[in-house]
Structure 1
């Protein structure tokens, strides 16, 4: 069995036993595909990982940068208590419309607010509101701006909070120091910021699965 076929088979096995889709999650994928959204959402095992991380954090306030069709949003919002709050930032109004429908169908509209517009404009506006510090930040948007999103996460997250940056391996291209591709340069800058910043302690994990060869970075915000 070829590598990618094997990865998919293993992902299917893990999904069936550990993170099976219910109707709300399946419908979110189905409707996102029907609307022509990019097939870039996390996999079910990755969504379950995000949910577990939020639960381990005891998260009451979550910030997501990059909503897409709301699939990861649903996983994260399900980790929140009834009075918890998730703010998700999405650049595309069309994507946000699909996401809001998916989130509402999942019964999570009261916990989730989707804000439309470039995140680098929404983040300062959010900061001006002086929100309660976030317990977890999930960054999964345009990769060229990863270091800027990470800097904003530091401003908005409590000490002890967790920042998760998705898609940091880029099929291995992250190791190419000579790359001029914006996604690689932005991801490398974020990784190097995590490694150098005195208020961050982090690591990065390579993954294979339904989304191919990629990975994520985890960073804890220090006092």
Structure 2
């Protein structure tokens, strides 16, 4: 028994001191599908804003997509984009969850929840953080002549992987005059203003140029990148860009 314990201790020590062994932290990408025309969306917007505030420098990344299918109900969402409606329908196919709805939160591309269900979403965050990410992502941005040059390095991808780069406005307010939220001033957080997809081949690094939004400032915006399997929708890794 004594010899066995010595062997186990020795194996444990070697594993802890092995410089080639990497531990990839768990990550959580929360994608909220929301709209200014939806009366049940403001509580979800506020919840995701609170979670973002708690994780400014952590491994939790919040992305809010404003869909456009509520626009015909009397108020056109100033952040609405048909591209984000299409993305939500992609998730409906990946998850087998049709019809689409708001507010919907997708966690790491794998499971969906009602966007205002704080208890369930926080449990999903804790669960996801306990598992190591499958891919490592590193991003650096440099602003030059109204362009954001984003240098990326990705390790640990699958053959169906793509890198998605989201240019995110950290917060905004909107005075809604019609529709279900008429006469309310709504607060929004982590608004995706642009989303660019890049094909990846094996483990890869490169640089891509993105046009800055008109109101862009380094203080009010950030770039979040994440690797997604296009067959399943699963998100394999994510990072927040560092500014050069």
Q: Same fold (TM over 0.5)?
A: no
User: Which one has a larger percent strand, Structure 1 or Structure 2?
Assistant: 2
User: Which one has a larger percent helix, Structure 1 or Structure 2?
Assistant: 1
Compare CA radii of gyration and give the structure with the larger one: 2
Question: TM-score scaled by structure 1?
Answer: 0.32
The higher relative CO (CA closer than 8 Å, separation ≥ 6) is in 2
